[in-house]
Structure 1
Amino acid sequence: MSRLTMTPEEMLTKLVGFDSVVGRGNGPIVAFIQDWLSAQEGVKVHVLPGPEGDRSNIFASIGPVDRPGYVLSGHLDVVPATEPGWRADPFVLRDDGGRLIGRGACDMKGFVAAALAMVPELAAMDLQVPIHLALSYDEEAGCRGVPHLLAALPGLCALPVGAIIGEPSGLVPVLAHKGKAAIRVSAEGVAGHSSRPDLGQNAIHALVPVLAAAVAQAADLMKGATDPRFAPPWSSLQIGTVAGGQALNIIPERSEAQIEARAIAGVDPLELLAPVIAAAEAARVEVEMISTYPALSLAADDPLADKIATLSGFTPLAAVSYGTEAGLFQAAGVPAVVCGPGDIARAHKPEEYLTRDELHATYALIRRLGESLAV
C-alpha cells in the first residue's frame, strides 16, 4: 500500500476548506479523513456515527491496540464564521506573512492537521506503544460528540494511559480546567392585549422567579468554595440569553433563557444549577439540559504531566478557566492534559489564525511522541 504524504500546511488547507460548522452534518470532512487514514499502511480506522444520524466521530490507531497507549484528541467542528470582520472567505486558508488565517485554523484544526500530516511517519515507526487519534464532532455545542466515542473505547483498544487534548494553549501543558453545565428554561403563556392582563398569561413574568434564583446563586457562589488555580477562583453562574415577547402592548406568550454554571475541580457543575432548576419546577417552567462536562484535574506529579512537559519543553500550567473534552476523558479513566498550538484568545473571532511556526512546532512535538514510543 502506498504512503500518501501532505505537509501540515496542505493538510490544514484541506481541513479549513470543509465548512464543518457545529450542529451540522460532518460527512464530507469525515470521509476525507477516513480516506486519508485508510491509505496509510497499518492504520486501523473506525468511523463512529452519532445518534444524530448525520455526523460521526473518528477513532484511528497506529501500533498495537492491545497495549495501553496515547490519544491525540481534537474536534472537527468550528463555530460559525458570520462575523463582519473577515477580510476573505473564512473557509479558504490564506497565508498572511506566516499567519495561516481561516475559521478553525487555531480552534482546533491546526492540531488535527499536524496529527494527520504526521500519520505517515508514525505508521513507518516501529511503535511499541500505540498512538490513537480521537476526532469528535459538536465540541462547540458542549462536547456532545466525544461521549459516544468514549463509550465505544473499550471495544477499540486497551485503556490508554494518557490523552493529549490539542486545544490552543501555546503548546504549554494545562493540568486543570473548570467543568460546565448549561440549561434552557422556557415558559408558555397566553397572548393578548396588554390593556387586559386579566385575559392573558405573561410568559416573561413566569420566568422571573427562575432568573432571580440564578442571580442569587451566582452571588452565593462568589462566597463559596475556591480554588486558587483558577481565575476567578470560585465556581460561577450566569444567565447568558433571555428572549421573549413581540411588542410592548402584547402579552408575551413565550419566554426563554439559557443559563450556565462553571465549576472548579471537585464540584459537579450540574449541582450548581440545582437551585435554579428547583425554582423552575416550582414555577412550572420547562427545563432542558443543553450540555454538561466535568472539570479536569491532573496531578502535577502524574506521569502524563511529566511526559508532555518533556516533549513540549514547557513547564505545565496549573489551570485555565475555559473547558475542553479533557474532563470527559479523565472521567472515562484516561488521564488527560490540554496541549495544543495557538492562543485561545484568537478563537471564535474574525481573522482567526495559527502561525506557520506554531503548526510546525506541533508537528515536531507529535514526532517526538512517536519516537519516544518506538524504542
Structure 2
Amino acid sequence: MNAVQILERLVSFPSVVGTPNGAIVAWIRAYLESHCVEVRVLPGPEGDRANLFATLGPRDRPGYILSGHMDVVPAGETEWRSDPFTLRAEGDALFGRGTSDMKGFLAAVLASVPALKAGRLDCPLHFAFSYDEEAGCLGAPHLIARLPELCARPLGAIIGEPSDMSGVRAHKGKAAARLRIEGRAGHSSRPDQGLNAIHLMAEVLARAVETAKALEKGPQDPIFEPPYASMQIGTIRGGQALNIIPDLCVADLEARAIPGLVPRALLEPVHAVIRSLAARGVNATWETLSDYPALSLPADAPLAALVERLTGKPSLAAVSYGTEAGLYQEAGIAAIICGPGDIDRAHKPNEFIRLDELHACQAFIEALGQGLSQA
C-alpha cells in the first residue's frame, strides 16, 4: 500500500479523542505484522484505548522514535464539503479529518516500512503511536513509562506534528484543571437560606485574573508570542434562573508555561483558593485535566542538526501549539517536532494535506532509515 491508500484507511477510522480506539490500533497492528514488524499494543488505564509501539531493527541498540497520535478532534462542523471520515482528493489536496493533524504523518511512517525493512537497519526506528493527545497528551505518558522495557534508551524522538517538514525546537507547556463548587439552592429573595456557588467561584476567578496579570510581568522568552507564560479561565457555567440561588458553578482553567517554568505550578495560586474554600466547609474540588511540559531543544543539538540535514531546512525556534515532545524531553530523550502539513489547517472543517507534503515526509523517514542501515 502507498501513503495515500494508507491515509485513506486511517482517516476512515473516526478515532475521535476520548473514544475507544481499538479499530485503528488493530488495523495498524495488522499492517505492521504483515511486514514482520514487532508490535506491542499497550492498553491505557481507561480500558478502551491503547498506545501502540513497534520496532524495526535491533531494539537493544539506541535508535530513534517516530512519534504520532492516532486520535483526532471531532468533526461536527457544518462547513465540511464531504464526509470528514472519507478521504477526498481534489487536485493535489487530500481532505479529511486528521489529514494534517496527524494521520498524514502516520501514513508516511507506515508507507516507509517496506523500504526500511529492505535497508536492514543497524540501529532501530521505533514507532510510538499514542491516544488522546488532543485531550492534553493523556496517552503518551503511559507509553513513555514503558520505554525501558521496550527498547534501549533512544537517541531522540521526532514528533510528527504538522510543521511543513521543518524541525521545531521549542513549545510552551500546559496544565489545565476543572474547578467545581457546590452551593445550596434557594429563592433569590432569601440569600440567607442558600449558598451562591457563582459568588464563591468569583473568589477563584479573581485570583486567576490576578495571577494572569502577574505572569505577563514575569520571566520572558522572546522566541515565543507572547513571550511570557499565560493563564485564563476558558469556560464557566452555573445557575438555572435569575431568581434561583445557583447551587453549582464549574470553570475550566489553563496555564501555558515557557520553558523553565512548571505548568502545574503556575496554577497553584488558584488551587490554593479552592483549598481555602474547602477548609471553610464548601464542597470545592479540583480536577486536573492535562499537564505536559514545555519543549526546549538547543539550536546546536545533534537531533536538530540531523533533522536539518535530512529536510534541507533550518529548524525553527518555536511554535505556539503544544505536543508530546516535552514529555519525551522530560524523560531524558532529546525531542524535536517535524511533520507534514500545516497547523493552520488543523481543527478546522475541510482539513487537508497535499500529496507533495505526504511524499516529502516519507522521503524524510526513508532517508533517516538509510542513515541507520548497514552498509
Query: Do these two structures clear the TM 0.5 threshold for a shared fold by scoring above it?
Result: yes
User: Using the alignment, how far apart are the partners of 1:90 and 1:246 within structure 2?
Assistant: 36
- Aligned residue in 2 for 1:369: 368
User: Are 1:288 and 2:287 matched, yes or no?
Assistant: yes
The 8 Å contact of residues 142 and 292 in structure 1, kept in 2 or not, is answered as yes
State the AA in 1 paired with 2:243: N
User: Using the alignment, how far apart are the partners of 1:344 and 1:283 within structure 2?
Assistant: 41
Specify which of 180, 187, 195 is matched with residue 193 of structure 1: 187
User: Are 1:237 and 2:236 matched, yes or no?
Assistant: no
User: Are 1:177 and 2:171 matched, yes or no?
Assistant: yes
User: Using the alignment, how far apart are the partners of 2:277 and 2:110 within structure 1?
Assistant: 51
User: Are 1:306 and 2:305 matched, yes or no?
Assistant: yes
With 279-288 and 161-170 compared, the bigger mean Cα shift is at 279-288
The 8 Å contact of residues 71 and 132 in structure 1, kept in 2 or not, is answered as yes
- Aligned residue in 1 for 2:68: 74
- The Cα of 1:283 is off from its aligned counterpart by 2.1
State the AA in 1 paired with 2:124: P
Specify which of 11, 28, 32 is matched with residue 27 of structure 2: 32
Give the alignment of 1:22-61 within 5 angstroms: 22-41=17-36, 43-61=37-55
User: Using the alignment, how far apart are the partners of 2:156 and 2:121 within structure 1?
Assistant: 16
State the AA in 2 paired with 1:96: E
With 346-355 and 277-286 compared, the bigger mean Cα shift is at 277-286
State the AA in 2 paired with 1:36: Y
State the AA in 2 paired with 1:114: A
User: Using the alignment, how far apart are the partners of 2:285 and 2:312 within structure 1?
Assistant: 50
| Runs of 5+ unmatched residues, structure 2 | 279-283
- Aligned residue in 2 for 1:331: 330
User: Using the alignment, how far apart are the partners of 1:124 and 1:40 within structure 2?
Assistant: 11
User: Are 1:154 and 2:153 matched, yes or no?
Assistant: no
User: Secondary structure of the equivalent of 1:34?
Assistant: helix
With 53-62 and 283-292 compared, the bigger mean Cα shift is at 283-292
Normalized against structure 1, the TM-score is what?
0.97
User: Secondary structure of the equivalent of 1:71?
Assistant: strand
State the AA in 2 paired with 1:24: T
User: Using the alignment, how far apart are the partners of 1:97 and 1:241 within structure 2?
Assistant: 40
User: Using the alignment, how far apart are the partners of 1:320 and 1:266 within structure 2?
Assistant: 16
| Runs of 5+ unmatched residues, structure 1 | 1-5
Give identity over the alignment, percent. 60
CA root-mean-square deviation: 0.8
- The Cα of 1:186 is off from its aligned counterpart by 0.7
- The Cα of 1:118 is off from its aligned counterpart by 0.9
Specify which of 11, 18, 27 is matched with residue 16 of structure 1: 11
Specify which of 206, 212, 219 is matched with residue 218 of structure 1: 212
The 8 Å contact of residues 209 and 283 in structure 1, kept in 2 or not, is answered as no
User: Using the alignment, how far apart are the partners of 1:345 and 1:248 within structure 2?
Assistant: 41
Superposed CA deviations along residues 215-243 of structure 1, whole A, max 9, x for unmatched, are 01100000010001111100010111101
Superposed CA deviations along residues 21-45 of structure 1, whole A, max 9, x for unmatched, are 000110000000010111113x210
Normalized against structure 2, the TM-score is what?
0.97
State the AA in 2 paired with 1:198: D
Q: For this pair of structures, how many residues does the alignment match?
A: 369
